[in-house]
Each structure stands twice: as structure tokens, then as C-alpha cells.
Structure 1
Amino acid sequence: MINSLFFLPFIIVPLCIITTAVLITYNNIRQVKEQAESRKQAEQERQLETLDAQAEARRWLERLGSEVLTTDGIDPDSKNLIATATERYTTAQTTLDAAQTRRQAEIARDIAVEGLHLMRDARIMMGQPAGPDIPPL
């Protein structure tokens, strides 16, 4: 009769190898899933940042549009400033419509703010109040 302890290593070693392989595979699958979830969450955060930046740009763009539509120049210099502000409005609108990233929306916002500064200069030149605060350039 062959000693049963003789076969024990031939059973335990393969079982240990199989168990180790299963654990390593499970761990790798879990890590891949975590990385995919992390990438998905980062993409969602980028999309929200873009939407926030677009809303901020739209806010300043609407204000510029309102000012451009309701202000008429009284002399050539103020008319030129208003015309330039109108160009900024159009450029900001086009830029915002094409914006797909946060930075592109921020550029549209900056263009609109530049137009608001031009409108402020035109109002001051015409002897009107400077108007509400606007962000610095």
C-alpha cells in the first residue's frame, strides 16, 4: 500500500497555484473596472465644468448683447466703440456656440467681457454712468 502522504504535495501545490491564479485574475479584473469607473467619473466632471463655463460665458454674453442693442453712440468715437463691442458680441457668440471644452467657453466669456469694457468706455465718453461692475480683462 502506497503511503497517502506521498500524494499530498501533488494535490496541494496545484491547488495553491490554481488559487493564486484565480486571485490574481480577480484582482486584475477589479482594477480594470475601477480604472474604467474613474475615467468615466473624470469625463463627467469635465463635462460639468464645460457646462458651468458655458453658462458663465452666456451670462456675460447676454449682458453684452443687451447693452449693444440698447445703446446708441452720439459721436464718431462712441459709435466706433459700440461697433467694436458689437463685433466682440458676434465673435463671443460664435466662439461659445463652437465651444466643446471649458477653456473654449472661458475664451468666449473673455471676449464678451472685453466687449463690456468697450461699452463702458462708450458710455463714459457719452457722459453716461459707467454701469454695473464687470470683471477685469
Structure 2
Amino acid sequence: MGLAHRMCEHCREIEETGLHVLRDCDLAKKTWLTVVPQNLRADFFGGDLVHWFKFNVHGEIAKIADMDWTVFWANACYSLWIWRNKEKHKDNFMRPLQPVQFREVEMDVDSTAVVKVIKDGVTNH
């Protein structure tokens, strides 16, 4: 949603709204298609912003892996928004090629590797 124009820089011919950035842009859609069950995609990708929020907060998707869907969905939206802004304002920024795996790796590092480093540090001192 730049000041000079309102078109998505990736899609080129589509207005860049918040919903477009978070759901409808091909860059966002690639992420969602890896996690939204096929039988729920019509509801997920259909409707306006209010429908989309209600579907994801109160909808039929309960969990992804061991994570509550609403937590995953909110974090994915946050990441998509941040990546979009970094693409616009930071030179040489590239989105992760596989964003869902990127988040899982980040969580593994946060939980297992950090605990190991802490334990090793405690036992070595």
C-alpha cells in the first residue's frame, strides 16, 4: 500500500489491500496452501476480511501439528506482513522459500537448541 500507487508490486494488476497482503497475494497463498486442509480452502479463501477473521478464530481448523490454529494463523499473518514490509523497505530481503518449514525450524531452535546450550553452559561451569 505505497503512497504512489495502490497496486501489489508482486501481482501488478491487483489492488494491495491488507487482505490481499495476508491472504490473496500469490506470495501469501503459497504459505496457506501448505497448511489449510483442501476441504476447507473454499471457506478460507472466500469472503471478506471479517469473514476471514471469524473463520480463523472460530472456524473448523483446530490445530496444525501440535499448535493451536489461531496461534499459528496469527503468527503467520504477522510474518507475512513483516516480510511484505521488509521487501518494500530493505534491500536484498528475500522471503523464506518454504515459510512453514522456516517457522518450524525457528521453533526447534527456540526450544531444543537453546535448552541444550543452557544445559551445557550450566554443567560446564
Identify the structure with bigger relative contact order (alpha carbons < 8 Å, sequence gap 6+).
1
Rg larger in structure = 1
> TM over 0.5: same fold?
no
Greater fraction of residues in helix: 1
Q: TM (normalized to structure 2)?
A: 0.29
Q: TM (normalized to structure 1)?
A: 0.27
